[in-house]
């Protein structure tokens, strides 16, 4: 049977499991996601797993406000966030599942843009989207669109990454400017009378992680999403038992992020990134790795920003004025609903 043209706004009936739901799935999701492997006729999808492979799985949820922002939307953000969680663990992302929670009354055109962006990001990342589910919530019960994802990837048996491999003297790297995503979302909300054209850094970090895996001295990788760079280094200090020393002057910041943070009192080290990698590497390979990232164009503003200490201690930041600042745990959420 031909699919009826969807109305301008999503109705609660589009989640009722009947004709309207079929029209939503067949008319909006299926044509955009079929090329990624999604078969809407089945409840479970078979996947091919390389023989003897070590698999890795991740799951995540996304609730960004606004749903669209410079540099992406909740659709591309969901793909990048899931792919990146696998990539920084050393895995090659293969398969994703998607759950969409849609609020009654949302414009169909907006949902179409989100799914189009999601499909483009998945195709660019080289992953298959093999299963999904759709729910429609009553008006006021959802912030427009919520997405939940699960990702499955494969890890090379010879690769071993983790905090347990970090040693005193190792260098801490970041692949680019920090705080771009959090600041871009803040500006998109047009709060405090501020506007700007800063784009989110939301992107797949697979090319960066695959490059870094070529160095035997790679110890650890993570993407600094909620809680930002500061939360990653605090986790490292707590989990390794070593103190960390950061150099504020070495941490790359864009001018818009610096300006917004200075004006509103935010600390860019706690603002989310969605396309950056924090890595820890052996000291004899760190400079070469950063130079390679820059020269290859994979991460033109990659930088060494700190060193792992010899003894247990806090995370200390040497400021631009030469003073010392203690990096503390994040307590209040400075920017809720950013990823």
Q: Which of 133, 155, 177 is the last residue of a domain?
A: 155
CA 252 to chain centre: 18
Q: What digits encode the pLDDT tens for the residues 255-303? A: 999 999 999 999 999 999 999 999 999 999 999 999 999 999 999 999 9
Domain count, the chain: 2
Residue 172 shares a structural domain with residue 296: yes
Residue 272, domain extent: 163-326
Q: Which residues contact 333 (CB under 8 A, 6 or more apart)?
A: none
- Provide the CATH number for the domain around residue 149: 3.30.1330.10
Is residue 250 within 8 Å of residue 303, measured between CB atoms?
A: yes
Claim to verify: residue 145 and residue 195 sit in the same structural domain: no
Quick check: 181 and 202 in contact, CB under 8 A? yes
CATH number at residue 230: 3.90.650.10
**C-alpha to C-alpha distance for 234 and 106, rounded to whole angstroms:** 39
Alpha-carbon span 275 to 22, nearest angstrom: 35
The stretches in the chain having pLDDT less than 50 are 1-2
In a domain, 246, yes or no: yes
Q: Is residue 126 located within the same domain as residue 183?
A: no
By three-state DSSP, how is residue 96 classified?
strand
Same structural domain, 132 and 207: no
Q: What is the pLDDT of residue 1?
A: 41
Residue 335 belongs to some domain of the structure: no
Cα separation, 15 vs 142, in Å, equals 14
Residue 169 lies in a domain: yes
Residues 258, 127: one domain? no
DSSP string, 312-328: S--EEEE-TTS-EEEPP
- Using alpha carbons, list the distances in angstroms from residue 162 to 75, 174, 196: 29, 16, 38
Query: What would you measure as the largest C-alpha separation in the chain, in angstroms?
Result: 71
Sequence-distant (6+) residues with CB within 8 A of 190 are none
pLDDT for res 287? 98
Question: Does 203 lie in the same domain as 308?
Answer: yes
Handedness of CA 267, 271, 277, 278 (dihedral sign): positive
Residues in the chain: 339
The total of other beta-carbon atoms located within 10 Å of residue 72's CB is 27
The C-alpha atoms of residue 60 and residue 289 are separated, in whole angstroms, by 30
pLDDT at 4: 65
- Look at residue 338 and tell me if it is in a domain: no
Residues 184 and 276 in one domain: yes
Supply angle C-alpha 214, 52, 96, rounded to 5. 75
Asked if 48 and 120 sit in the same domain, the reply is: yes
| Euclidean distance between CA atoms 174 and 228, whole angstroms | 11
pLDDT at 81: 98
pLDDT at position 3 is 54
Letter string b/e over residues 169-205, b meaning 16 or more CB atoms within 10 A of that residue's CB:
ebbbbbbbbbbbbbbbbbbbeeeeeeebebbbbbbbb
Task: Choose one of 155, 175, 205: the last residue of a domain.
Answer: 155
Q: What is the Cα–Cα distance from 270 to 227, expressed in whole angstroms?
A: 5
Q: Is residue 278, in this structure, part of any structural domain at all?
A: yes
Does residue 183 share a domain with residue 100? no
309 and 169 part of one domain: yes
Which of 117, 260, 116, 112 lies closest to 186 in space, CA to CA?
A: 260
191 and 147 within one domain: no
**Where does a domain end: 104, 133, 155?**
155
Q: Are residues 105 and 192 in the same domain?
A: no
């Amino acid at each position: 049977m031909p699919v009826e043209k969807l109305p301008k706004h999503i109705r609660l009936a589009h989640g009722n499991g009947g004709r309207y739901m079929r029209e939503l799935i067949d008319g909006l999701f299926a044509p955009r996601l079929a090329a990624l492997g999604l078969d809407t006729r089945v409840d479970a999808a078979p996947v091919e797993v390389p023989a003897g492979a070590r698999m890795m799985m991740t799951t995540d949820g996304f609730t960004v406000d606004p749903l669209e922002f410079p540099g992406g939307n909740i659709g591309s953000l969901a793909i990048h966030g899931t792919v990146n969680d696998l990539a920084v663990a050393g895995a090659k992302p293969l398969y994703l599942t998607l759950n969409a929670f849609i609020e009654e009354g949302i414009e169909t055109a907006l949902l179409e843009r989100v799914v189009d962006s999601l499909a483009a990001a998945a195709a660019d990342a080289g992953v298959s989207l093999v299963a999904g589910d759709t729910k429609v919530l009553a008006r006021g019960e959802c912030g427009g669109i919520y997405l939940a994802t699960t990702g499955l990837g494969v890890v090379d048996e010879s690769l071993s990454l983790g905090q347990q491999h970090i040693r005193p003297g190792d260098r801490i790297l970041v692949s680019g400017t920090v705080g771009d995503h959090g600041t871009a979302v803040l500006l998109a909300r047009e709060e405090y009378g501020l506007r700007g054209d800063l784009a989110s850094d939301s992107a797949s970090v697979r090319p960066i992680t695959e490059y870094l895996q070529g160095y035997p001295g790679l110890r650890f990788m993570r993407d600094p999403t909620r809680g930002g760079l500061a939360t990653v280094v605090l986790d490292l200090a707590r989990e390794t038992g070593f103190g960390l020393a950061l150099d504020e002057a070495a941490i790359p910041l864009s001018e818009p992020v610096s300006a917004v943070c200075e004006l509103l009192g935010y600390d860019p080290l706690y603002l989310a990134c969605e396309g950056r990698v924090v890595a820890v590497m052996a000291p004899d390979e760190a400079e070469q790795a950063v130079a390679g990232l820059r020269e290859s164009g994979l991460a033109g503003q990659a930088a060494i920003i700190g060193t792992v200490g010899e003894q247990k201690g806090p995370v200390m930041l040497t400021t631009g004025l030469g003073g010392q600042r203690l990096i503390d745990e994040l307590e209040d959420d400075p920017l809720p609903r950013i990823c």
